[in-house]
Amino acid sequence: MSIEFAWNAQKNQMSDIKGKEREQEREGQIKNDMIDLDRTHLNYDLVQSELNLYQRAKERVDQLKSENKRVQKNSVITYSNIITIPESAAKEMSNDQMHDYFKTCHDYFVDRFGKENVLSSKIHLDESTPHMHLHFMPIDKETGRLQARTTMNKAALNEIHDEIPERLRAKGFDVVRGSGEKTKQKLDIHQYKAKLDLEKEIKDLDLDRTILHREVYYMRNNKDIERKKIERGFEEKVEAAKTEALQKIGMIKEEVAKFEYDMSQNQERLIMDTQDMNGLLDATKRDLEEHQKQLNERIDSLKELDFDESINLDLKPNLLNKVSMSNDTFLELKKRAEVAERMQRALRISEQRVQMLEKDNRQKDSQLNEMFTLRMENSALKRQVEFFKQVIDKIRDMVSAQRDKDGNQRVTKKLMEHAIGYAKEYIGQKMNMKKEAMPRNENEEIGRDIAIKSLAAKQKEKGYGSDMER
């Protein structure tokens, strides 16, 4: 029984080639139930190359451009062809016969369009109907130009339909020219399958979008909860610091009040002691002045006497007794002198106590300075709170700016951590808080590196990196 030659072709622009490549290489999610993945390893390509299909096409296009051959963005770059052996005929063929069948078709396109323009001839044996995906570039062999309109016009299509069955018959295959009905039916089936695949893909995308929206919602919730926890934690720290500072301030105030009370008591005692000592000194001074006056009077009375050698020496003691001081008087003067000396020592001790009180006063001033330091630490805590608030706001702005192709927000945990690392570094440099901005994981390190490069670029634009500035 004769086999009708089954062949259909489709025009492709450059943007279509990757999709065709994924289909023929079984990449991504396999949605065709007729594909037996356990047999996929039997598939092979008659065109041997280390490059994939897209790279082969791009390399050939670049070569044409280097030869000043015109290639437009909307040009037909390739024709993707499917040549099929009916399932009933394939069951009667050996693997070698099927190989010869497809190789004969491959060689025909090589002869017609050139070996360099046949990019791939992938034979699939993992489906019930063996077939070959052949991709060629519609190059005019005479001009060497990419000309799909002339190389694949209606006349060329008829020639291909006539000539390939002739070659196959020459190789011993009972093949006749296809009527077109089965080919059209096959194309309709492909279109139907493509429609089903598209609908399934749309459903999968809708499901993915729903899941993504749910993940974003939960992520936002978690971030809000985490942000509130951070804010509550810092507020508690601030309140604890305030309470501790107020307690220390209260203790310092009590100590200052006690110090002032002790100072007042010591001042009163010192004033009283000073007054007592001043009274004793004044009394002693008056007594000394009185005795000095008496002594001077006796000395003056002795001067009035005219001593000569004729005076009886026995009288001299009597005369001297007139100027002599009684023992009681001497003892009294001595006692008062000792009192005066003790008072002077007491004054020196009082001065030392005043110096000690002044030292205590300086210590109290130091404690007051510690209180001011606590206030500064309280201010630093507030700055940290403000830092994390700005970090969170920055993250929120970056997350809300992420959109997918449908205009919906799209974010992943990895991207979120990138954003956190970016925001930490960005705000950390602005607020000079490098310690707080240290990343917690590798993703935050990536975000930090991006921020460093971005800030460095901005500084360079402003001229901070110039020789004059350095």
Distance of CA 113 to the CA centre of its chain: 55
Q: What average pLDDT does range 192-221 have in this prediction? A: 70
Strands (E), 96-198: 118-124, 131-136, 175-176
pLDDT of residue 304: 55
Distance of CA 456 to the CA centre of its chain: 15
| Reported confidence tier of residue 340, pLDDT bands at 50, 70, 90 | confident
**Mean pLDDT lowest among 152-166, 242-256, 318-332, 454-468:** 318-332
Question: Cα–Cα distances in Å, from 73 out to 15, 16, 19, 68, 220?
Answer: 9, 12, 17, 15, 42
Strands of the sheet with 131-136, listed across from one edge = 6-12, 78-84, 131-136, 118-124, 44-45
From 388, 391, 410, 390, select the one nearest 399 (Cα to Cα).
410
Residue 259 parent element (H or E): helix 181-304
Map tokens 């500072």 to a residue: 245
Give the tens place of pLDDT for each residue, 92-131: 899 999 999 999 999 999 999 999 999 999 999 888 889 9
| Reported confidence tier of residue 191, pLDDT bands at 50, 70, 90 | low
3-class SS of residue 45: strand
Q: What average pLDDT does range 213-223 have in this prediction? A: 79
Tokens linked to 424: 């930490």
pLDDT: which is higher, 306 or 459 = 459
Q: Residue 403 phi/psi, 5° resolution?
A: -130, 145
From 5, 216, 236, select the one nearest 108 (Cα to Cα).
5
The 10 Å Cβ neighbour count of residue 82 is 19
Tokens linked to 54: 């897209």
CA separation for the pair 210, 216 (Å, rounded): 10
Q: 156 pLDDT exceeds 50?
A: yes
Q: What average pLDDT does range 418-425 have in this prediction? A: 86
